[in-house]
């Protein structure tokens, strides 16, 4: 599959790009700054087929992942709405603020970043996924098993299934349906809890759903 990544030079975008490429997908790594995207793509060349392009050109894919900071989220999607029409858009944006006590979820008028994306991209099918997989582990090619599940939220069962399949690109991870888009805020916000876990236990925590099969913790 051809996968575009908006914000592909950030930690999450870069890490996902590496893993999608390692799994044999063709990756268009997008950035506001195409020359930065080219540099990052060159650094990922060992992983597989990765090209660095401007964000607008990263929409020339079967599926487009949105991995930009929340601050630029609405503006970027508004500017790309025509190009993204008819496509699957996977939002992994976590709207968080930070203060001296650490991260916390910030209010989003639409409920969640994913619902905001779906409102802006009315001709696209938006799915929320890939919020919790550690960027540090994703971007480390020596890590061959990334524990944890990819929670996938969306309205269209077939498209959710496609993203669950895409999650298999991350070794050790499993895509799990975790509700409709209106429940995405909880999943986006949970990233703040995982950062609290990371600080307390000095780790790169992830999340797994138990009770699905004999393989769980």
Which stretch, 31-39, 40-48, 70-78, 188-196, contacts a second copy (CB under 8 A)?
188-196
Which stretch, 1-9, 47-55, 63-71, 199-207, contacts a second copy (CB under 8 A)?
199-207
3-state secondary structure 3-63: EEEECCCCHHHHHHHHHHHHCCCEEEEEECCHHHHHHHHHHCHHHCCEEEEEHHHHHCCCE
Residue 36 touches a second copy, criterion: CB under 8 A = no
The helix (H) or strand (E) run that includes residue 73 is helix 70-84
Residue 187 touches a second copy, criterion: CB under 8 A = yes
**Is the Cβ–Cβ distance between 137 and 109 less than 8 Å?**
no
Q: Binding a second copy by CB under 8 A: which of 89, 92, 114, 207?
A: 207
Residue 128 touches a second copy, criterion: CB under 8 A = no
Q: Binding a second copy by CB under 8 A: which of 151, 167, 169, 170?
A: 151
Residue 211 touches a second copy, criterion: CB under 8 A = yes
Instruction: Report the candidate in 74, 99, 88 with the shortest Cα–Cα distance to residue 123.
Output: 88
Residue nearer to a second copy on the CB measure, 54 or 205: 205
Residue 154 touches a second copy, criterion: CB under 8 A = no
DSSP secondary structure letter of residue 155: S
Residue nearer to a second copy on the CB measure, 35 or 210: 210
Question: What strands, in cross-sheet order, belong to the sheet with 63-66?
Answer: 50-54, 26-31, 2-6, 63-66, 88-91, 125-128
Give the nearest distance from C-beta 132 to a second copy in angstroms: 9
Q: How crowded is residue 212: how many other Cβ atoms within 10 Å of its Cβ? A: 11
**Is the Cβ–Cβ distance between 58 and 84 less than 8 Å?**
no
Residue 185 touches a second copy, criterion: CB under 8 A = yes
Which stretch, 7-15, 37-45, 76-84, 204-212, contacts a second copy (CB under 8 A)?
204-212
Residues that bind a second copy (rule: CB under 8 A) add up to a total of 42
Instruction: Report the candidate in 54, 76, 90, 75 with the shortest Cα–Cα distance to residue 164.
Output: 90
Residue 148 touches a second copy, criterion: CB under 8 A = yes
Q: Binding a second copy by CB under 8 A: which of 101, 122, 142, 158?
A: 101
Phi, psi of 142 (to 5 degrees): -80, -10
Q: Which residues bind a second copy (CB under 8 A)?
A: 101-102, 104-105, 134, 147-149, 151, 153, 176-180, 182-183, 185-187, 189-190, 192-194, 196-197, 200-201, 203-212, 215-217
């Amino acid at each position: 599959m051809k996968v575009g990544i908006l914000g592909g030079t950030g930690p999450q975008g870069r890490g996902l790009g590496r893993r999608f490429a390692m799994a044999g997908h063709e990756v268009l790594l997008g950035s506001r700054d195409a020359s930065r995207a080219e540099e990052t793509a060159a650094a990922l060349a060992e992983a597989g087929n990765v090209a660095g392009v401007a964000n607008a050109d990263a929409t020339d894919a079967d599926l487009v992942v949105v991995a930009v900071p929340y601050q630029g989220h609405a503006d970027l999607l508004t500017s790309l709405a025509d190009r993204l029409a008819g496509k699957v858009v996977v939002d992994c944006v976590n709207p968080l603020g930070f203060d001296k006590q650490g991260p916390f979820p910030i209010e989003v008028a639409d409920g969640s970043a994913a619902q905001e994306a779906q409102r802006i991209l009315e001709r696209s099918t938006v799915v929320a996924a890939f919020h919790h997989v550690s960027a540090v582990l994703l971007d480390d090619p020596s890590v061959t098993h990334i524990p944890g599940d990819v929670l996938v939220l969306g309205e269209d069962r077939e498209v959710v299934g496609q993203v669950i399949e895409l999650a298999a690109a991350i070794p050790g991870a499993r895509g799990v349906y975790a509700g409709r888009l209106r429940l995405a805020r909880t999943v986006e916000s949970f990233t703040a809890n995982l950062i609290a876990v990371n600080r307390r236990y000095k780790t790169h925590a992830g999340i797994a759903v138990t009770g699905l099969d004999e393989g769980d913790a």
